[in-house]
Structure 1
Amino acid sequence: MEKQKTRILPLLPLRGLLVYPTMVLHLDVGREKSVQALEQVMLDDQHIFLSTQKEVAVEDPTGEQIYEIGTLSKVNQMLKLPNGTIRVLVEGVQRGKILRYIDGEEYLAVEIELIEEEQQSDIEAQALMRTALQQFEQYINLSKKVTPETLASVQDIEEPGRLADVIASHLSLKIKEKQKVLEIIDVKDRLHHLISLLNNEKEVLGLEKKIGQRVKKAMEQTQKEYYLREQMKAIQKELGDKEGKSGEVATLKEKIEGSDMPEHVREIAFKELDRYEKMPGSSAESSVIRNYIEWLINLPWTTETEDRLDLNHTETILNEDHYGLEKVKERVLEYIAVQQLTKSLKGPILCLAGPPGVGKTSLARSVARAIGRNFVRISLGGVRDEAEIRGHRRTYVGAMPGRLIQGMKKAGSINPVFLLDEIDKMANDFRGDPSSALLEVLDPEQNNTFSDHFIEEPYDLSKVMFITTANNLATIPGPLLDRMEIISIAGYTEVEKVHIAKNHLLPKQLKAHGLKKSQFQVKDEAIVTLARQYTREAGVRSMERQLASLCRKGAKQLVAGEKKRVTITAKNIEDYLGKPRFRYGQAEMEDQVGAATGLAYTTAGGDTLSIEVSTTPGKGKLSLTGKLGDVMKESAHAALSYVRSRAKEFGIDPQFYEKTDIHIHVPEGATPKDGPSAGITMATALVSALSGRAVRKDVGMTGEITLRGRVLPIGGLKEKSLSAHRAGLQTIILPKENEKDIEDIPESVRNDLTFIPVNHLDEVLKHALVGE
């Protein structure tokens, strides 16, 4: 160190400030001791020692709280301000180090050692100065706080130490960093440290600039979007669309909040709404999303109608709407009784199976009315695409939910009576198998989480009361049939038909044709004639058409003024409907040889089947005609084999098969016929034709035959019995094992028929053939 010098000077502690040598600065002084120190300085030689406090908050600092290295400064100007503080202009002269503190009551005084700087002018110092200036220039370009004029003034400085001090004074550094620069005495070390600081500051400013640009870009984008949205609103307003998409989004949001959907579905709806809002209206996906949101809103998720659990009320309504059908009514009443006890029974899945026109569809509607539920019906006839049941995925154009979800939307509640009509008439092809898709729907254990491809979220169908209808159970796949409770509805008896026509169909047709009871009347005997001679069906649809025809013809007569009152009787019904289409009953007028009456089960209910056998001299050829199926042909061969094996017992020439041609014919050859139940009928007709014994005219029979003559059970006895009753037969021969099914036959039919259960063909022949 070179020549050093000590001095005793008043101390002015600085808060948050630092003064370098050669630096000129304005200070506001307010503390009492500092004001006293300044006043003393102005009385002396105007020199004061400035050193910075380590902690800004300290009001009356001690020696330990003030940095040792400070600056000897000259007070060039002092001005008292109105608020009591003093503003001074100070100029830094030289670095100094506090040696000791001198206690004074009025102000702090210190003994300092002045630090002389060694002037450096070698090549290294020059290089450091140049580097520092370059770095400072780059710093100014990045920073907006230092003006370019400052650079010009700094470039004129030739002393390395002074250059470092001036540059440090212009940097945005913390006080600790600035103090560190002040404390470095060696000029080259000071420049080295300064260059390092400049590098750091440059990096920080570079990052700040990048962040600023990014924020600015984001703000510009936001402003651009805002501007465009405002433009869009203005255009929509001009076009007459006052609210536009924003209004639509607000409406949808309100609907979502007001809907009954569960929380997880509501979250998905809001997520899709957000996508919809951001998507341009011209986008194809925009309409798909909107359609999806509306489906979620309109579907009932928790809305439930309250069941009217009153057995008497339900029974009254069911009886009002339908005559007969006791089994179905009983099953509905059982369901209501259990619901009344448990309140939580899953919806049953009933399958009403029976011929057309017996009231299956209207019965389901009556069930809904009786228990106070909403009713929805979908027809599955001809459905061959799986998407009809499960819906389309939303990736397809024109995607929409399946018929189940559409039906639930129409119902508006989660517990309607849901009718799946014509479930036996579904088809399948390359587009999938809709009957397999129904397996999940019609399973009470699975349908609480039914998955539709369009909706995607699980939907609860467990509270729905499913009723399905079918004409023919044979065409329903086994697994699907297994999930349903089958309730068979046979055809109506003549008594029931007359009652239905009188109390249900006729009032309905009168109302439809604008007729009053005083103008148009159909007598009871006319209705009986209508049932016997103009309709031959299991249901009452054809009868309703004939009644409509009567109403139309009667209306014409009334309007034309031909009559004032129209009365239809058994005698004049022919004038309105023409000649009878069917003769009453299909029973033969007399006992016939080689002709037996069989009972058949068809999709339209039961029917009688006349089987005729003729024999001619020949070589034992067997001919079968009448459009018979394979099973029917096999029955004929089995019957013939049995007759040949027992020819002697039946009084037939044992060699008949060598010299007699046999022709078996079933009339109405245009209608396909198949099934094993004509076995005993064919055998009886064969024995009759070959033995010459007549078959009793009033006997109908049904049963499958074996080669040993055993009679096996058949199905559809109830329908067959109704057809026999309709045909005017009096005795029915049936398999012994079907004896239990006689209970299902309506009492009015049971009382008019004689049932003969048999185990063997010998018993059949004993009852069916005339004579020994």
Structure 2
Amino acid sequence: MEVNTRVKKIEKNIPLLPLRGLLVFPSMVLHIDVGRERSVAALEQAMLGDSKIFLATQQDMRVESPERNDLYEVGAVANVKQMLKLPNGTLRILVEGIARAKVLDYKEGEKYTSVDIEIHEDDPTKDAETEALMRTLLSYFEKYAKISNKITTETIESVVDIEEPGRFSDVISSHLPLKVAEKQEILSIFNVKKRLDYLIIRLHDEQEVMALEKKINTKVKQAMERTQKEYFLREQMKAIQQELGDRDGKSGEVAELRKRIEEAGMPEATRKVALKELDRYEKIPAASAESGVIRNYVEWLATLPWSEKTEDRLDVAYAEEILNRDHDGLEKVKERILEYLSVRQLMNSLRGPIICLAGPPGVGKTSLARSIAESLDRKFVRVSLGGVRDESEIRGHRRTYVGAMPGRIIQGMKKAGTTNPVFLLDEIDKMSNDFRGDPSAAMLEVLDPEQNNTFSDHYIEEPYDLSDVLFIATANDLSTIPGPLRDRMEIITIAGYTEMEKKEIAKNHLIPKQMKEHGLKKSQLVVKDEAVLDLIRYYTREAGVRGLERQAATICRKAAKIIVSGEKKRVTVSSKMLVDMLGKHRFRYGQAETENQIGIATGLAYTTVGGDTLQIEVSLTPGKGKLQLTGKLGDVMKESAQTALSYVRSLTNKLGIKPEFFDEHDLHIHVPEGAVPKDGPSAGITIVTAVVSAITKKPIKREIGMTGEVTLRGRVLPIGGLKEKSLSAHRAGLTTIIIPKDNERDIDDIPEAIREQLSFKLVSQAEEVLQLALDGGF
């Protein structure tokens, strides 16, 4: 038997009343509503006897007809003080707990269940330890009552007056907000000291929880009060602003910007910066100069595309159709774009290539970029870099400067509205540098696939991802692009168009376009094929088609005047009418000489506007061995002339002339069109041929053009721009061109239509050139 507990006696056949979600302690008075049939029968049986009943709590309150295993073994013996039958048939009873009891045996009767129980009474005596436990428990109970505000002063006073330890602990237990299972645990402790000790621990824990709960509630209340205060102040601010005529005020603008920032899809670090700046903007007075600076910055951050992306149309056949529809020729460029699309379709993700379309003006570099954007279903944005001298044009200005704004790259991305546009960097070779910095150096980060995923603009400051952008640059002259920048781009050279390609472009694109722009219908203007060819041959001389388009526009204007004046309703342009419209022929088709000439050789040159032919003339006069060069030649070409002359002097024996010949004659080398600057390393063999022709009086074959540099020992070195030079030779009416043997690999780049009409002679020594070019051989 436990200390502080006495077994009073064992009683049998006590009616059992199961309780749901309820527990009764000894000395506790409680009203209970009883409705279950067996419970009502048990009550009636108790009232017939001594009014005692055993109250046991169900372990699961959802069980409707509890059995032995559904009830706790320890419960309370109680007296039924009062019983009242309610109108709905339920009994309301008043019970008073007497003592703890433990079930020894269950007896299931027909109408109710009875139990044999062992009643435990608490020992009313107190020793020093019990007294100390009671005082400690009372102290904790008073503190708990003070924190919880759920226990009245009268309850505390009634507990103070209780002397019996067992009753003291039970009364306190009945006032604690514990779960039924926790109360059952207390009811099951028969030892009073252990019960007091357990309650002290529970109250101590409950006090800590209550204190923490109170602290949390205080914080929540303070936060709510602060929020309410802010709301109140904002409402006051709105009212003041409305009174001053500012309807929405700054708050409406801030709310809109905040919403845009949240919806922009920025990286988390950038979003935090934007929100921080927005908070600063909200607090700064509108009259402050900094207010406008911050607002513009936040506006830029919110407007830039951070996550908006268009879906690529990865249809190679469709892309090929678009490119062929808009452009004739340019097979190499089209093939590169289709390769990119094919790889993208297989990989489903690929960094945008950085392509540089290099070629003379008017060959369709810019319009090709537009077609690429259309074939990919991407947005198109163009930035012209011609004349850009300031590094800040690319990277933007610091926000500390007055009127600061982002660079052209970020501006272009804002204009595009997506993170993966086709971005055209037009005229990238026209950038220059001065004391304000080198913009081409700033472009290095933009066009480097390894760096441009974290491009940094001085104005935005936060890293911006350009890795999904398809950059396309255009250039006329690659030599003016710095080496590091050129190294970051894939160069695709567009040499120019053949005569037949120009004809197709004029018929399919240029003339219909100009007719539309000049309000002419197809039935009002017809340009015959012969007139188109004459237009190309006699009124334009260019690698591209820009001049051809201008002439087409002129024809449309003339035709519009004829139709409006009533002379004709339909204008048909023939070769004869072309002369009436545009005047006499401006150029002579087939620039080659009509007959073989002495001392005049046709060279092939490469310029920024495409290929061209150069007539190099040599004249010999009696003199003192002077060399005169005219025709506005550059340093490289002057050196080529001196090298060529030195080589020719080494051929005195083969030429059959006296060694003193060169000391007795002055040599004059002239390249016509003296106002046009001419330079380059590919005129060596042309000068040698012209000089030898002048000395030997042997004519040079008129149908031959040539290109190649020569060394002092007569070796012919390779040249560049063979495709452009071949096109110029074809335009000039030449049938044979002499090229260095090392350039044999470049013949495949020349359009097939041109290759079929030109005969290519490969040479490695200057003597071979003389053998081919001089009438009668060398």
Q: TM-score, normalised by structure 2?
A: 0.70
Gaps of 5+ in 1: 1-52, 62-82, 87-102, 104-218
The SS at the match of 2:463 is coil
Paired residue type of 1:430: F
Counterpart in 1 of 2:652?
647
> Taking structure 1 as reference, are residues 234 and 646 closer, same or farther at Cα in structure 2, changes over 3 Å only?
same
Quote the residue 2:485 is aligned against: 480
Which string of whole-angstrom CA distances, capped at 9 and with x for unpartnered residues, describes residues 478-514 of structure 1? 0010111010000101011011000010110010000
What is the CA deviation profile of residues 194-245 of structure 1, one whole-angstrom value per residue up to 9, with x for unaligned ones?
Answer: xxxxxxxxxxxxxxxxxxxxxxxxx99x99x999977764453244321111
**Corresponding residue SS for 2:464:** coil
2:743 aligned with 1:744, yes or no? no
1:292 to 277, 291, 297: 297
The structural deviation recorded for 1:263 is 2.2
Indicate whether 1:445 and 2:421 are aligned: no
- Which of 301, 308, 311 is residue 313 of structure 2 equivalent to? 308
Letter in 1 for 2:590: G
1:319-358 alignment, distance < 5 Å: 319-358=324-363
The correspondence for 1:688, drawn from 690, 693, 711, is 693
The structure having more radius of gyration, on CA atoms, is 1
Matched-pair identity in %: 71
* Partner Cα distance (2:316, 2:391) in 1: 39
Choose from 614, 619, 622 the match for 2:627.
622
1:458 aligned to which of 435, 458, 463: 463
Conservation of the 8 A alpha-carbon contact between 2:264 and 2:307: no
Per-residue deviation, residues 149-195 of structure 1 (Å, max 9, x unmatched): xxxxxxxxxxxxxxxxxxxxxxxxxxxxxxxxxxxxxxxxxxxxxxx
- The separation in 1 between residues aligned to 2:240 and 2:675, in whole angstroms, is 72
Give distance in 1, aligned partners of 2:233 and 2:465: 44
**What is residue 154 of structure 1 aligned with on the other side?**
none
Q: Which residue of 2 aligns with 1:533?
A: 538
Question: Equivalent residue for 1:583?
Answer: 588
Provide the C-alpha distance between the structure 2 equivalents of 1:384 and 1:370, rounded to a whole number of angstroms: 33
The residue that corresponds to 1:601 in the other structure is: 606
Task: State the AA in 1 paired with 2:673.
Answer: E
Q: Give the structure 2 partner of residue 724 of structure 1.
A: 729
1:567 maps to which residue? 572
The SS at the match of 1:466 is strand
Equivalent in 244, 261, 284 of residue 249 of structure 2: 244
Separation (CA, whole Å) in 2 of partners of 1:557 and 1:636: 54
Q: Output the CA distance in 1 between the equivalents of 2:232 and 2:470.
A: 55
Q: Residue 681 of structure 2: which of 653, 676, 679 is its match? A: 676
1:643 deviates by 0.9
Q: How far did 1:531 drift?
A: 0.3
Query: Take 2:321 and 2:300, find their aligned partners in 1: how far apart are those partners?
Result: 38
1:394 shift after superposition:
1.1
Counterpart CA distance in 1 for 2:315 and 2:233 is: 63
In structure 2, how many angstroms separate the alpha carbons of the residues matched to 1:57 and 1:627? 115
Supply the distance in 1 between the matched residues of 2:140 and 2:627 (Cα, whole angstroms): 133
Say yes or no: does 1:387 pair with 2:418: no
Q: How many angstroms apart in 1 are the aligned matches of 2:231 and 2:413?
A: 41
Partner of 1:367: 372
Instruction: Supply the AA of the counterpart residue of 1:432.
Output: G
Pick from 473, 498, 501: which aligns with 2:503?
498
Cα shift at 1:344: 1.6
Match in the other structure for 1:167: none
Partner of residue 471, structure 1: 476
Residue of structure 2 equivalent to 1:20? none
Which whole-Å CA distance do the structure 1 matches of 2:640 and 2:677 have between them?
15
Query: Partner of 2:205 in structure 1?
Result: none
Do the aligned residues in 1 keep the contact of 2:703 with 2:735 (CA within 8 Å)?
A: yes
The separation in 2 between residues aligned to 1:302 and 1:386, in whole angstroms, is 27
Query: How many Å apart are 1:650 and its aligned residue?
Result: 2.0
Q: CA deviation at 1:734?
A: 0.4
Q: What's the CA shift for 1:59?
A: 13
2:769 pairs with 1:764: yes
Query: Residue by residue, what CA displacement relative to the aligned partner does 1:56-89 show, whole Å, maximum 9, x if unpaired?
Result: 957999xxxxxxxxxxxxxxxxxxxxx9xx9xxx
* SS state at 1:571 partner: helix
Given candidates 754, 759, 764, the residue that maps to 1:754 is 759
Secondary structure, counterpart of 1:676 in structure 2: coil
C-alpha separation in 2, matches of 1:303 and 1:56? 67
Please list the CA deviations of residues 270-290 of structure 1 after superposition, one character each: whole Å capped at 9, or x if unmatched.
111110000011111111111
**CA deviation profile, 1:368-400 (whole Å, cap 9, x unmatched):** 000111111101111111111111111111111
Amino acid at match of 2:592: A
Q: Counterparts in 2 of 1:102-141, with a 5 A limit?
A: none
Looking at structure 1, the residues matched to 752 and 255 of structure 2 have their Cα atoms a distance apart, in angstroms, of: 66
Cα RMSD of the aligned pairs, angstroms, is: 2.4
Pairwise CA distance, 1:55: 8.2
Residue deviations 1:591-640 (CA, integer Å, cap 9, x gap): 00000000000000000000000111111111100000011111111111
Secondary structure at the aligned position of 2:443 is classed as: helix
Q: Contact 2:352–2:467 (CA<8 Å) still a contact in 1? A: yes
Three-state SS of the structure 1 residue aligned to 2:559 is helix
Structural mapping, 1:508-523, within 5 Å? 508-523=513-528
TM-score norm. by structure 1 comes to 0.71
Superposition deviation, residue 407 in structure 1: 0.7
Give the direction of change, closer, same or farther, for the CA distance of 1:386–1:56 in structure 2 (3 Å limit). Answer: same
**Quick one: distance in 2 between partners of 1:511 and 1:640?**
57
- Looking at structure 1, the residues matched to 265 and 403 of structure 2 have their Cα atoms a distance apart, in angstroms, of 26
Query: What is the number of equivalent residue pairs in this alignment?
Result: 566
d(CA) in 2 for partners of 1:399 and 1:766? 67
Deviation at 1:264?
Answer: 2.1
Task: Quote the Cα distance in structure 2 between the aligned partners of 1:254 and 1:373.
Answer: 27
Please show how residues 106-255 of structure 1 align to structure 2 within 5 Å: 233-255=238-260
Structure 2 counterpart of 1:329, which letter? K
2:453 counterpart letter in structure 1: N
Find out whether 1:419 has 2:420 as its counterpart: no
Deviation at residue 54 of structure 1 after TM alignment: 8.7
Q: Partner letter of residue 422 of structure 2? A: V
- Return the offset for 1:652: 3.3
Q: Deviation string for 1:547-569 (max 9, x for gaps)?
A: 00000011011111121111111
Residues in 2 aligned to 1:756 and 1:333: alpha-carbon distance in whole angstroms: 35
Partners of 2:141 and 2:672 in 1: CA distance: 130
Q: 1:60 to 1:258 in 2, by over 3 A?
A: closer
1:547 paired to 2:552: yes
1: distance between equivalents of 2:571 and 2:334?
37
Equivalent residue, structure 2, for 1:69: none
Q: Report whether the alignment pairs 1:706 with 2:719.
A: no
Residue 419 (structure 2) pairs with residue 403 (structure 1) = no
Instruction: State the Cα deviation string for residues 716-743 of structure 1 (Å, max 9, x = none).
Output: 0000000000000000000000011000
Task: For residue 652 of structure 2, give the secondary structure of its aligned residue in structure 1.
Answer: coil
Q: Which residue of the other structure, out of 368, 378, 383, is the alignment partner of 2:383?
A: 378
Residue 286 of structure 2 is aligned with which of 265, 281, 284?
281
